[in-house]
Structure 1
Amino acid sequence: MLDIALNANINSTLTLGSAFLTIIVSFALGILISVTYMKTHVKGYYSQNFTLTLILIPAVIAVIILLVGSNVARAFSLAGAFSIARFRSAAGDPKDIAYVLFSMAAGLACGTGLFGYAALFTMLLCVFMVVLCKINFGAKKSCEKILKILIPENMNYQGAFDDILKKYTTNYQLCRVKTTDLGTLFELVYTVTMDNEKDEKEFIDELRCRNGNLSIVLSMNAAPNDF
């Protein structure tokens, strides 16, 4: 029978029916959150393992809340057990972290029996995320990139490419100069804001003519590790 108590030691009686309903609802909300994440993420750049994790997190959190109930001793025991676990993966994209917190909140709401509230705020937040993605909210109007140019050691790098950079970019700055290939070459690293009306291939071709057809790298997105 669904009314059989799963644990008689907790203050509030936990029945098989309520536990089953909690797991099903939290699992369904996890699927909704995971699908929203895939739809609002850059296609092909999300991890399948992460999307599966988003489905599992609400159900796991809901089960934990069900098991703890109002038992303070049990809550402290679980806190001690979780303090032993350590996350081996480095912190990823802030958006991924937000989705993890989103999934945890849905699981907490389901675990406390607030199914309507959990479904309401999950659907609203998913709709908000889809809308923000569609309108491309927060996107930069100009794209900042990293430009790396190799030049011979006998070439004076100061102002060597200024005329070309002024022609094809709206803003540029020389960030780093270092020797490479046993000191026979210099590597110049610029941050550049590309002019969207200019052709990038023509830009690189002019740079190649100036640096003797040595290596040129134009990174699509500027990142601190590129410097």
Structure 2
Amino acid sequence: MSILSRMLLALAFGVAVSMLYRITGPQDRGNRSRLASSLVLLSVLIAMVTQVVGDSVARAFSLVGALSVVRFRTPLEDTRDTAFVLFAVILGMAVGVGQPLLAGIGFGIGAIAAAGYRFHAGSDLPRSWQVEISRTAALATASADLTDTLRGFCTKVECWATRIHKKGECTEFRYQITPRIDLDPSEIIALLTAIDGVQSVEISPSK
């Protein structure tokens, strides 16, 4: 394989890994979106480094010393992110040493494993969650905005209990919701607590 063909193939595998990361994971936000973009460049760079090193042990040690000054200040959020970084690195390395068939087979098996993880992770989510929201008395009867917010994240929302406590100073709403597969509880808590008058939000799996 020529150098140009190896670099283009590494680019193609990098794009494929990035797309697989987006498709099989939660909706991309913040660092996740940046990591998906970095996977493409990472695959190309590793293929380039592999060709620079070749069979030279001296070059390998020189590159290790040169790259040791690099510091990654953004931590990876979970082990899945680490696995995809390694996935891009290994594919780039395989292409760099002239093993496109190995890279293709590895990508295919890795894609099946990632898709299986996505299916398994989704099946582990609770069928329904219980949401408890405490709101000040002045806005206690206005639950429409709470319901609308929950409907933006769930396939089913039902307010099944309302209770006034603290001598009428606060009202507690209890919802039964069916979450989407990719729903992050911390995200919905942040949006609910940003609503005027909301004092606290608690989310737990329904028993």
TM-score tier by shorter-chain length is 0.5 to 0.7
- The alignment-based identity, stated in percent, is 25
1:26 partnered with 2:10: yes
The one of 27, 31, 46 equivalent to 1:43 is: 27
CA distance in 2, matches of 1:83, 1:20: 27
Please state whether the residue corresponding to 2:2 is helix, strand or coil. Answer: helix
CA distance in 1, matches of 2:121, 2:33: 24
Match of 1:121 in 2: 106
1:94 partnered with 2:79: yes
CA distance in 1, matches of 2:15, 2:35: 12
CA distance in 1, matches of 2:160, 2:122: 31
CA distance in 2, matches of 1:79, 1:144: 49
CA distance in 1, matches of 2:26, 2:78: 12
Pair member with larger Rg: 1
CA distance in 2, matches of 1:99, 1:148: 37
CA distance in 1, matches of 2:55, 2:115: 37
RMSD across aligned positions (CA): 3.1
CA distance in 1, matches of 2:165, 2:129: 22
Task: Report if the CA contact (8 A) 2:134-2:170 is conserved.
Answer: no
Please state whether the residue corresponding to 1:70 is helix, strand or coil. Answer: coil
For structure 2, the 5+ residue unaligned runs are 136-156, 172-198
- Cα deviation for residue 86 of structure 1 reads 0.5
Residue type matched to 1:213 in 2?
Answer: C
Q: Per-residue CA shift, 1:49-72, capped at 9, x if unaligned?
A: 222111111111011010001111
Say which structure, 1 or 2, has more relative contact order (CA 8 Å, 6+ apart). Answer: 2
Task: Report if the CA contact (8 A) 2:24-2:118 is conserved.
Answer: yes
Equivalent pairs counted in the alignment come to 156
Match of 1:132 in 2: 117
- Cα deviation for residue 219 of structure 1 reads 4.5
CA distance in 2, matches of 1:145, 1:105: 43
Match of 1:61 in 2: 46
Q: Per-residue CA shift, 1:81-114, capped at 9, x if unaligned?
A: 1111111212322211111011111111111211
Task: Report if the CA contact (8 A) 2:130-2:204 is conserved.
Answer: yes
Please state whether the residue corresponding to 2:68 is helix, strand or coil. Answer: helix
1:213 partnered with 2:170: yes
- Cα deviation for residue 40 of structure 1 reads 1.0
Residue type matched to 1:120 in 2?
Answer: I
- Cα deviation for residue 26 of structure 1 reads 1.1
CA distance in 1, matches of 2:93, 2:29: 29
CA distance in 2, matches of 1:220, 1:103: 36
- Cα deviation for residue 130 of structure 1 reads 2.0
Residue type matched to 2:37 in 1?
Answer: L
Per residue, is there more helix in 1 or in 2?
2
Match of 1:83 in 2: 68
Structure-2-length-normalised TM-score = 0.63
The alpha-carbon distance between structure 1 residues 35 and 19, as it changes in their structure 2 partners (threshold 3 A), is same
CA distance in 1, matches of 2:39, 2:130: 32
Residue type matched to 1:64 in 2?
Answer: V
The alpha-carbon distance between structure 1 residues 137 and 74, as it changes in their structure 2 partners (threshold 3 A), is same
